[in-house]
């Protein structure tokens, strides 16, 4: 098992010598390395078994540090950063030359974000370098929302786990980019699209669902637990009732369904609470000897669309 603790100084020393540290953020835990050290960044890809075509998000302590990594921060990017950082928003902007190509998978843009977690902000300031960090899970699997989730899957591959408690948002950041026609949302996430629109007006959604996406994190089979997931459409797959299945729903099990295990995400129907509980529910049921998981879609308001997006991907074709 990897060492787990709250020693920010120790974490900073490991990062300074090219090591890997799992870091808490408000969304999910990240697997961090010095973004300006290609050898350290390479270790992230190896630890996650992540394909090199999938670029990493770079975490910085503030907007000023973000500017140092971008050759051209779009005025709308600055407005959004001022409105929502620290917070669950990643801005894809033209990269500065000093950002290694490995981090951006050869793209001329870089994804930047200031995470809203006191321990990680302290770490970013203390170590004085930007941290490349994808979610701290093996490629294609559910993202970790607690230190124990990281330890269960990546323990031998990470030098230290900085324990910041359970994550407060529970799903990954919203990713936006800037194209000639304006702002585009590439990934739904912890910041609602409505909040972005309240600052800069109508935006375009380009949520990729293909197997050859522009933003590779949008692969259709992302977020997959160990057993199949079925989006509830009034029926359940053949044989599941006999073997026993699990169910994930907001606060009620649809009538006529008799799951062996259930995870109700928020008894009060609070979608923020539901988002906090979603990945742990997928993980727990995914580790049980069940035929599969029936996921009841969440209401399409608030964080509902972002959660439904995760569920659809979890139910997507299994990686070969």
Site residues for ligand TXA, 219-278, by CB under 6 A, read: none
Least Å from the CB of residue 50 to ligand TXA: 8
d(CA 85, CA 65): 12
- Among the residue ranges 76-84, 105-113, 120-128, 268-276, the one whose residues contact ligand TXA (CB under 6 A): 105-113
Least Å from the CB of residue 262 to ligand TXA: 27
Determine the angle formed by the axes of helices 118-127 and 8-16, rounding to 10 degrees: 40
Give yes or no for residue 135 binding Mg ion (CB under 5 A).
Answer: yes
Q: Could you tell which of ligand TXA, Mg ion, none binds residue 107, using a CB distance below 5 to 8 A set by kind?
A: ligand TXA
Give yes or no for residue 104 binding ligand TXA (CB under 6 A).
Answer: yes
Residues 6+ apart with CB under 8 A from 102: 38, 41, 42, 45, 52
What is the C-alpha end-to-end distance of the chain, expressed in Å?
A: 28
Q: How many CB atoms lie within 10 A of CB 49?
A: 11
- Among the residue ranges 106-114, 193-201, 250-258, 312-320, the one whose residues contact ligand TXA (CB under 6 A): 106-114
Give the residues across from 21 on adjacent strands: 32, 160
Give yes or no for residue 27 binding Mg ion (CB under 5 A).
Answer: no
Give the residues across from 23 on adjacent strands: 30
- Among the residue ranges 4-12, 50-58, 252-260, 291-299, the one whose residues contact ligand TXA (CB under 6 A): 50-58
Which residue, 115 or 304, has its beta carbon nearer to ligand TXA? 115
d(CA 36, CA 167): 26
Give yes or no for residue 41 binding ligand TXA (CB under 6 A).
Answer: no
Give yes or no for residue 77 binding ligand TXA (CB under 6 A).
Answer: no
**Structure-block tokens of residue 157:** 């591959």
Give yes or no for residue 27 binding ligand TXA (CB under 6 A).
Answer: yes
Which residue, 8 or 23, has its beta carbon nearer to Mg ion? 23
Give yes or no for residue 277 binding Mg ion (CB under 5 A).
Answer: no
Which residue, 135 or 174, has its beta carbon nearer to Mg ion? 135
Per DSSP, helices labelled H in the chain are: 8-16, 38-48, 63-67, 75-84, 101-104, 118-127, 147-154, 193-200, 240-243, 271-286, 304-314
- Determine how β-strand 160-162 pairs with β-strand 174-179: unpaired
Residues 6+ apart with CB under 8 A from 95: 69, 70, 71, 104, 107, 108, 109, 110
Give yes or no for residue 73 binding ligand TXA (CB under 6 A).
Answer: no
Give yes or no for residue 132 binding ligand TXA (CB under 6 A).
Answer: no
Which residues contact ligand TXA (rule: CB under 6 A)? Answer: 25, 27-28, 30, 54-57, 88, 90, 92, 104, 107, 109-111, 113, 115, 133-135, 172-173, 175, 186, 215-218
Which residues contact Mg ion (rule: CB under 5 A)? Answer: 135
């Amino acid at each position: 098992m990897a060492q787990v603790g709250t020693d920010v100084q120790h974490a900073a020393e490991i990062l300074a010598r090219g090591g890997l540290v799992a870091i808490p953020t408000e969304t999910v835990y990240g697997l961090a390395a010095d973004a300006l050290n290609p050898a350290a960044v390479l270790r992230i890809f190896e630890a996650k078994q992540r394909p090199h075509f999938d670029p990493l998000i770079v975490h910085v302590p503030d907007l000023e540090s973000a500017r140092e990594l971008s050759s051209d921060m779009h005025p709308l990017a600055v407005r959004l950063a001022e409105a929502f950082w620290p917070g669950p928003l990643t801005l894809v902007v033209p990269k500065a030359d000093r950002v290694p190509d490995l981090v951006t998978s050869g793209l001329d843009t870089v994804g930047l974000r200031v995470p809203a977690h006191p321990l990680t902000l302290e770490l970013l300031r203390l170590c004085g370098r930007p941290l490349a960090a994808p979610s701290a899970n093996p490629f294609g699997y559910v993202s970790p929302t607690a230190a124990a989730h990281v330890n269960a899957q990546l323990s031998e591959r990470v030098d230290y786990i900085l324990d910041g408690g359970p994550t407060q948002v529970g799903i990954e950041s919203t990713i936006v980019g800037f194209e000639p026609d304006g702002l585009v949302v590439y990934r739904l996430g912890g910041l609602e699209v409505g909040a972005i629109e309240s600052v800069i007006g109508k935006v375009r959604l380009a949520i990729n669902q293909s197997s050859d996406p522009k933003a590779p994190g949008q692969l259709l089979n992302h977020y997959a637990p160990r057993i199949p997931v079925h989006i509830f459409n009034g029926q359940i797959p053949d044989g599941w009732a006999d073997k026993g299945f699990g169910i994930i729903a907001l606060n009620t099990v649809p009538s006529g369904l008799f799951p062996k295990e259930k995870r109700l995400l928020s008894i009060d129907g609070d979608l923020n609470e539901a988002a906090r509980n979603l990945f742990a529910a997928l993980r727990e049921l995914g580790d049980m000897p069940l035929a599969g998981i029936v996921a009841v879609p969440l209401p399409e308001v608030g964080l509902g669309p972002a959660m439904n997006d995760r569920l659809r991907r979890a139910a997507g074709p299994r990686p070969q």
